A = this chain, B = another copy of it.
Amino acid sequence: MLDLKTRVDIAAGRQPADLVLRNGKIVNVLSCEIHEGDVAIAGEYIVGIGAYEGREVVDLKGQYVCPGFIDGHVHIESSMLSVPEFAKVVAAHGTTAVITDPHEIANVMGSEGIRFMLNSSKYCPIDVYVMVSSCVPASHFESAGANLSAEDIEPLLGDPWVLGLAEMMNFPGVVGGDPGCLHKLAVAGKRPIDGHCPGLAGKDLCAYAATGIGSDHECTSADEAREKLRMGLCIMIREGSQARNLEALLPLVTTETLDRFMFVTDDKDVDDLLEQGQIDHMIRKAVAMGMNPLHAIKLSTINTARYFGLHHLGAIAPGRAASIAVVNNLTDCRVTRTYRAGELVAENGVGYDAGADKRREQILRSSINVQWLEPQQFAIPTDARESCQVHVIEVTEGRIDTGHAVETMTPANGELHADPARDLAKIAVIERHQASGNTGLGFVRGFGLTDGAIASSVGHDSHNLVVAGTNDADMYTAAVHLVKIRGGFCAVRGGEVLADVPLPIGGLMSTVDAETLSGQLRALHEAVRPVAGKLRRPFMALAFLSLSVIGKLKLTDQGLIDVEKFERIDLVAR
In the complex, 22 of the A-B residue pairs with CB atoms within 8 angstroms, ordered by the A residue number, are: A4-B182, A7-B210, A8-B175, A8-B182, A8-B211, A12-B175, A12-B203, A13-B203, A30-B232, A30-B260, A31-B230, A31-B260, A32-B254, A48-B203, A49-B206, A190-B312, A213-B319, A230-B317, A232-B318, A232-B320, A259-B259, A306-B306
Indicate the member of A12, A28, A46, A49 with the most B CB atoms within 10 Å.
A12
Q: How far, in angstroms, from A78 to B42 measured CA to CA in the complex?
A: 40
For A62-101 the 0/1 string (1 means CB < 8 A from B) is 0000000000000000000000000000000000000000
Total chain A interface residues with beta-carbon distance under 8 A: 63
For the A-B complex with A12-B177, A49-B206, A231-B317 known, give 5 more contacts whose Cβ atoms are closer than 8 Å. A9-B207, A12-B207, A30-B232, A31-B260, A190-B311
How far is the CB of A494 from the nearest CB of chain B, in Å?
57
Indicate the member of A182, A205, A317, A318 with the most B CB atoms within 10 Å.
A318
| A209 in contact (CB, < 8 A) | yes
With a cutoff of 8 Å between Cβ atoms, the chain B residues found around residue A28 in the complex are: 230
| A435 in contact (CB, < 8 A) | no
Contact between chains at A319 and B212 (CB < 8 Å): yes
| A542 in contact (CB, < 8 A) | no
Among all A-B residue pairs, the 3 with the closest Cβ atoms:
A232-B317, A11-B207, A48-B206
With a cutoff of 8 Å between Cβ atoms, the chain B residues found around residue A13 in the complex are: 203
Q: Give the residues from 203 to 241 in chain A that come closer than 8 angstroms, CB to CB, to chain B.
A: 203-207, 209-214, 226, 229-232
Contact between chains at A174 and B207 (CB < 8 Å): no
How many copies of this protein are present in the complex? 2
With a cutoff of 8 Å between Cβ atoms, the chain B residues found around residue A260 in the complex are: 30-31
Q: Give the residues from 254 to 303 in chain A that come closer than 8 angstroms, CB to CB, to chain B.
A: 254-257, 259-260
How far is the CB of A63 from the nearest CB of chain B, in Å?
19
Contact between chains at A209 and B319 (CB < 8 Å): yes
- Chain B residue at smallest Cβ distance from A4: B182
Indicate the member of A31, A185, A205, A311 with the most B CB atoms within 10 Å.
A31
Residues of chain A whose beta carbon lies under 8 Å from any beta carbon of chain B: 4-5, 7-9, 11-13, 28, 30-33, 35, 40, 42, 45-50, 174-177, 179, 182, 185-186, 190, 202-207, 209-214, 226, 229-232, 254-257, 259-260, 306, 309, 311-312, 315, 317-320
Task: Among B176, B206, B254, point to the contact of A50 (Cβ < 8 A).
Answer: B206
Contact between chains at B231 and A318 (CB < 8 Å): yes
Contact between chains at B182 and A5 (CB < 8 Å): yes
Q: How far, in angstroms, from A320 to B230 measured CA to CA in the complex?
A: 13
Contact between chains at B47 and A207 (CB < 8 Å): yes
Q: How far, in angstroms, from A30 to B226 measured CA to CA in the complex?
A: 11
How far is the CB of A391 from the nearest CB of chain B, in Å?
35
With a cutoff of 8 Å between Cβ atoms, the chain B residues found around residue A30 in the complex are: 229-230, 232, 260
How far is the CB of A212 from the nearest CB of chain B, in Å?
5
Contact between chains at A319 and B4 (CB < 8 Å): no
How far is the CB of A113 from the nearest CB of chain B, in Å?
28
- Contacts A11-B206, A206-B11 given; does A32 touch B256 at CB 8 Å: yes
- Contacts A9-B177, A232-B319 given; does A31 touch B210 at CB 8 Å: no
How far is the CB of A202 from the nearest CB of chain B, in Å?
6
- Chain B residue at smallest Cβ distance from A191: B311
- Chain B residue at smallest Cβ distance from A46: B210
How far is the CB of A217 from the nearest CB of chain B, in Å?
17
